[in-house]
Structure formats: structure tokens, C-alpha cells
Amino acid sequence: MVMNDSQYHQLVDNAFEKIETTTDSDDFDIECDVNGGVLTLEFENRSKMVINKQEPLHQLWLATKFGGFHFEWHEDQGLWICNRSGVEFWSFLTESITKQSGEQLSF
């Protein structure tokens, strides 16, 4: 089944909400800002990560200080999967945040 734009936006909105809720804890020194289709995380060390919608491709893109990664929704698995490495989004994001900021989050 091909995903329509409405389904895509709902999936990304749910992902953004999960990130905002997790980083909003007093346990973490992470600033989370959503502006349109872009979510920016800024860490105590002033480095940033950017997660943004790529609506034409129905992808979720993650930019870190060590590279850019593109994730596609796999309905059969119910997961966002990197189209290069095959890694799952939430585990990759968790590892990337730890690598870039030292913060130990769990989504």
C-alpha cells in the first residue's frame, strides 16, 4: 500500500511529539524547537541536530554533526528505517544524541 500525504504527516507529527515529550524532561539539558516541518535539538555543548520532513519523498531526514541520514517508513515493520544502513530511526537517534551530546535518552 502506498502511503498518502495525510498518513505521512500523521506519522511524522507523532515522531516529533515523541521527541518533544522525551526531551522536555528536567533530566535533560536539551532545547527542542519545532518550526513547520523542522525539529531542531540543541544540546548543552551548543551542537545541534535537525530532523525534518521531506514530504515529496515521504521521508524523515536527520542531520547530525557526523552526517545526514534519510529514513523511510516501512509499513510492514511499523518503523522508520535508514535507506542506506537499514538501521531503525529511534535506536539511531538515541545513539546519535549520546554520541553528539553525552545525554543518555531513551525513546
107 inside domain: no
pLDDT above 60 for 1: no
Report the predicted TM-score, pTM, of the whole model to 2 decimal places: 0.92
Write out the residue range of the structural domain in which residue 69 sits.
5-101
How many domains would you assign to the chain? 1
pLDDT above 90 for 29: no
82 near 69, Cβ under 8 Å? yes
Distance CA 26, CA 11 (A): 26
71 inside domain: yes
Average pLDDT score over residue span 72-85? 94
3-class DSSP state of 3? coil
CATH number at residue 24: 3.30.920.10
pLDDT of residue 53: 96
Distance CA 16, CA 25 (A): 15
70 inside domain: yes
Residue of 50, 29, 26, 48 whose CA lies nearest to 38: 50
Residue of 63, 57, 47, 67 whose CA lies nearest to 8: 57
pLDDT of residue 38: 97
Write down the mean pLDDT value for the chain: 93
